[in-house]
Amino acid sequence: MTEDANDVKAELGRLRDQVRHHDNLYYVKGEPEISDYEYDQLYRRLRELEEKHPELVTPDSPTQRVGGAPAEGFAKVGHEPPMLSLDNTYSEDEVREWDVRVRKGLDGDDVAYVCEAKIDGVAVALEYRDGVLVRGSTRGDGFTGDGITANLRTIHDVPLRLDEPPPGRLEVRGEAYMTREDLAELNRRRERDGKALFANPRNATAGTLKLLDPREVAQRPLRAWLYYVITEEADIPTQDEALEHLARWGFRVNPNRRRCANLDEVFKFHRDVEAERGDLPYNIDGIVLKVDRLAAHEKLGTTAKAPRWAIAYKFKAERATTKVESIEWSVGRAGTITPVANLEPVLLAGTTVKRAGLFNPERVAELDVRAGDTVNVEKAGDIIPYVVEVEYQLRPKGSKPTPVPRKCPACGTPLTKEEGVAGLFCRNWDCPVQARGRLELWGSRGAMDIEGLGEKVAAVLYDKLGVRDPGDLYSLEPGKLAALEGFGELSEKNLLAAVEGSKGRGLTRVLFGLGIPNVGFETATLAARHFGSVDRLTAAEEEELEAVKGVGEVVARSVVEFFRRPQVREIINELKRAGVKLEEERAAEPTGPWAGLTFVVTGTLPAMSREEAHRTVEARGGKATDSVSSKTSFLVAGKKPSSKLARAEKLGVKVVDAAAFEKMLKDTEPPA
Ligand code: IVH
């Protein structure tokens, strides 16, 4: 090795140590010693140096947290011993019964318990060889999970390399989770981008760990607590000491734990933790009692599903009882009519709840909930309050069933039901609530990002200045807004400048901002890249849309119907006249032997996953999509094909089996 290379190696080593040190202070200890800026400088220097010397990148370098290319599905990982679940109970009596069984199983030996907070997250396993993280996995069915090493590497609480000399072979298990605040922020981002929201931190964690692209995982703030050690190379006699070892090796160990000498202490811990529950930034759903002595674990053994040496003593869901003052029907931006119960304010899991969701008219009928009823409310996923049940015995005399509206509460248009979906809809394009909602969406950050155009201003523009749709925004006359109460010249000037500044955002944001039903940011991006201009998109038939990868039948129909509306055509014309950019760079036309051919794969192929098949097609310049249309060139039918096969046959699309497809891959000539 040359002198230079040695210098580089040494600097890389120093930088990695520094970054690791500050990561640990920041993520594990919560006591950073340098500013974010200084940290970023260190990190950037490390990354730049590694980019210049890729041969010197080590798997435990802090830069490897961000992950490389998307993974190919997940490899299976076997768990030995299996990752069992826990028996659980909500009652003190059952904990006493369990304690009796434990003592019996241990022939009356002295028993102490380690009690830990039960984190409401997703179980994960981490394997280390000589102190370096080599593999991480999910629980799966307990015996086999998914290898998600790259995803787990993105979690800063997961050490890539351990501090104190650890055993050569070590496995550590624990819980990945997300804080409530991080979930709220993630959901705000998703809402802005038109994506479905996560119901609770656990779902968000599970959904994130399953992502195929670790770079995306790195964008989402997951965390982890570790609580379980497997190794044959260290003498660890108790769970208490196992936790201490974990902390020393550099893992995050939950501070909400206590060694309890008897059940009274256990019950006190349960009460203490429950009282603190709402103040913790993450969700816990109970405590876990574990026999402290690990030799006793061996002796007690496990059932098929759970260890006999541990039990979860769960908290009852937080629930509050209050009265329904009224039931209101609100109108969403897309015309969905949603019932909401206005409540006498009540304290629930740390916040005052005044409204609770009733989901849809079907649910109102099913619960038969009425104004004046006493109801129990819970928080769904500990966030959104909803009515769980009605205390019918407390119903006041003479109360009347809640009428389901026939007309839109905002505009009076008769409401419609739609086949196959619960709920009621107002399909009046000019419904003021929907129109205001569309203006607000247009101004939102994921759309045209017009600073100042939020809910309130959208309402003022609609009510006072006759702005009916995004097109009208671009012909606002100066002086009009400034003259209104609460506004002035400056705020008008700023808003007009922001509107002007939004003209160049491009087609993706325009499509997202128009609020096309079923079209979120992702679909908007796909459509914009595929068609390149609004004119091409509005001229497209359903089939052409379906040929876009990621666009299904429902979305395709929705887009076509949307652009058929005369009102939408008029908006597009107004936008054009105003000089709003309605184009986007089209994805480069693919080249290769299969350019111009479209493939759909259905069923399973023996040699490759569907993802791989798609990539193989694309690598040859072909297009791989999910739905069959008359433009599909080939349907590749593997084992157990879906209804796509019948559709292909009906449309006269050429069908090939897996063997024929593989032969096509070997040919150098394009297929006929
Ligand atoms: S011990 C073999 N300790 O709860 C026993 N589990 O409902 C392994 N959990 O699958 C589990 N916090 O994912 C243990 N402090 C804790 C825990 C914990 C959360 C999870 C774990 C388990 C599930 C059972």
Q: pLDDT tens digits, residue range 197-209?
A: 787 788 899 999 9
pLDDT over threshold 60, residue 585: yes
pLDDT band at 507 (very low <50, low <70, confident <90, very high): very high
Q: Are residues 132 and 204 in the same domain?
A: yes
pLDDT of residue 65: 72
Tell me which of 484, 504, 524 is where a domain ends: 504
Does 76 reside within a domain?
A: no
Question: Ligand 1: which residue has its CA nearest to atom 2?
Answer: 84
Q: Are residues 110 and 170 in the same domain?
A: yes
pLDDT of residue 586: 81
CATH number at residue 634: 3.40.50.10190
Q: Ligand 1 centre and the CA of 84: distance in Å? A: 8
pLDDT in tens, 9-48: 999 999 999 998 887 777 666 666 777 667 878 888 898 8
SS3 letters for 66-78? HCCCCCCCCCEEE
Question: Ligand 1: which residue has its CA nearest to atom 6?
Answer: 118
pLDDT in tens, 242-301: 999 999 999 999 999 999 999 999 999 999 999 898 789 999 989 999 999 999 999 999
CATH number at residue 20: 1.10.287.610
Integer CA distances (angstroms), 436 to 65, 335, 470, in order: 43, 12, 10
pLDDT in tens, 155-192: 999 999 998 888 999 999 999 999 988 988 898 888 77
Does 412 reside within a domain?
A: no
CATH number at residue 451: 1.10.150.20
pLDDT over threshold 80, residue 550: no
> Of 362, 361, 367, 343, which is closest to residue 409 (Cα–Cα)?
361
SS3 letters for 549-601? CCCCHHHHHHHHHHHHCHHHHHHHHHHHHHCCCCECCCCCCCCCCCCCCEEEE
Q: Are residues 334 and 347 in the same domain?
A: yes
pLDDT band at 546 (very low <50, low <70, confident <90, very high): confident
Tell me which of 465, 484, 504 is where a domain ends: 504
> Of 417, 419, 369, 413, which is closest to residue 395 (Cα–Cα)?
369
pLDDT over threshold 90, residue 380: no
Does 421 reside within a domain?
A: no
- Span 568-585, average pLDDT: 95
> Of 139, 227, 225, 127, which is closest to residue 167 (Cα–Cα)?
127
pLDDT of residue 29: 65
Does 490 reside within a domain?
A: yes
**Ligand 1 touching residue 46 (CB < 6 A):** no
For the ranges 29-38, 108-117, 662-671, the maximum mean pLDDT occurs at 108-117
pLDDT of residue 382: 54
**Ligand 1 touching residue 176 (CB < 6 A):** no
Q: Are residues 608 and 475 in the same domain?
A: no
- Tokens 């039918």 sit on residue: 637
The number of the ligand 1 atom at minimal distance from the alpha carbon of 86 is 24
pLDDT in tens, 368-377: 999 999 999 9
pLDDT of residue 108: 82
- Span 598-612, average pLDDT: 86
Q: Tell me the average pLDDT of the chain.
A: 90
Integer CA distances (angstroms), 5 to 18, 42, 54, 72, in order: 20, 20, 12, 34
> Of 573, 548, 545, which is closest to residue 559 (Cα–Cα)?
545
pLDDT over threshold 70, residue 62: yes
Q: What is the DSSP string of 401-464?
A: PPPPPSB-TTT-PBPEE-TTS-SEE---TT-HHHHHHHHHHHHSTTTT--TT-SHHHHHHHHHH
- Span 539-545, average pLDDT: 91
Q: Are residues 494 and 539 in the same domain?
A: no
The number of the ligand 1 atom at minimal distance from the alpha carbon of 310 is 5
pLDDT of residue 70: 40
pLDDT band at 665 (very low <50, low <70, confident <90, very high): confident
* Those residues with Cβ within 8 angstroms of residue 520's Cβ, 6 or more apart along the chain or in another chain: 193, 194, 195, 196, 512
What is the percent of the chain where pLDDT is above 70? 96
Integer CA distances (angstroms), 535 to 460, 540, 552, in order: 32, 9, 21
Torsion angle of C-alpha atoms 526, 531, 533, 536, degrees rounded to 10: -140
DSSP state of 255: S
Q: Are residues 514 and 483 in the same domain?
A: no
Q: What are the b/e assignments for 96-119, b being 16+ CB within 10 Å?
A: eebbeebeebbeeeebbbbbbbbb
Give the C-alpha separation, 576 to 384, whole Å: 41
pLDDT band at 348 (very low <50, low <70, confident <90, very high): confident
Calculate the CA 430 to chain-centre distance. Answer: 33
Question: Regarding beta strands 144-146 and 169-177, do their DSSP bridges make them parallel or antiparallel, or are they unpaired?
Answer: unpaired
pLDDT of residue 66: 56
* Those residues with Cβ within 8 angstroms of residue 440's Cβ, 6 or more apart along the chain or in another chain: 333, 453, 454, 455, 458
CATH number at residue 155: 3.30.470.30
Is 379 a known active-site residue?
no
Q: Are residues 232 and 206 in the same domain?
A: yes
Q: What is the pTM of this model?
A: 0.57
What is the percent of the chain where pLDDT is above 90? 61
Does 83 reside within a domain?
A: no
pLDDT band at 539 (very low <50, low <70, confident <90, very high): very high
**Ligand 1 touching residue 84 (CB < 6 A):** yes
Instruction: Identify the domain containing residue 521 by its residue range.
Output: 507-578
Q: What are the b/e assignments for 443-472, b being 16+ CB within 10 Å?
A: bbebbbbbeebeeebbbbbbeebebbbbbb
pLDDT of residue 669: 75
pLDDT of residue 2: 53
The number of the ligand 1 atom at minimal distance from the alpha carbon of 84 is 2
Q: Ligand 1 centre and the CA of 267: distance in Å? A: 19
Q: Are residues 200 and 256 in the same domain?
A: yes
The number of the ligand 1 atom at minimal distance from the alpha carbon of 116 is 15
Which one of the listed residues 9, 52, 104, 118 is annotated catalytic?
A: 118
> Where does residue 30 fall: left (phi above 0), alpha (psi -120 to 50 degrees), or beta otherwise?
left
Give the C-alpha separation, 179 to 200, whole Å: 10
**Ligand 1 touching residue 367 (CB < 6 A):** no
Does 80 reside within a domain?
A: no
Q: Are residues 260 and 345 in the same domain?
A: no
**Ligand 1 touching residue 307 (CB < 6 A):** yes
**Ligand 1 touching residue 447 (CB < 6 A):** no
pLDDT over threshold 90, residue 344: yes
Does 417 reside within a domain?
A: no
* Those residues with Cβ within 8 angstroms of residue 330's Cβ, 6 or more apart along the chain or in another chain: 337, 338, 339, 340, 409
Q: Are residues 154 and 266 in the same domain?
A: yes
* Those residues with Cβ within 8 angstroms of residue 527's Cβ, 6 or more apart along the chain or in another chain: 511, 519, 537, 545, 548, 551, 559
Give the C-alpha separation, 161 to 134, whole Å: 10
Tell me which of 346, 373, 394 is where a domain ends: 394
Report how many domains make up the chain. 6
Q: Are residues 515 and 500 in the same domain?
A: no
Does 587 reside within a domain?
A: no
Question: Ligand 1: which residue has its CA nearest to atom 18?
Answer: 118
Q: Are residues 275 and 326 in the same domain?
A: no
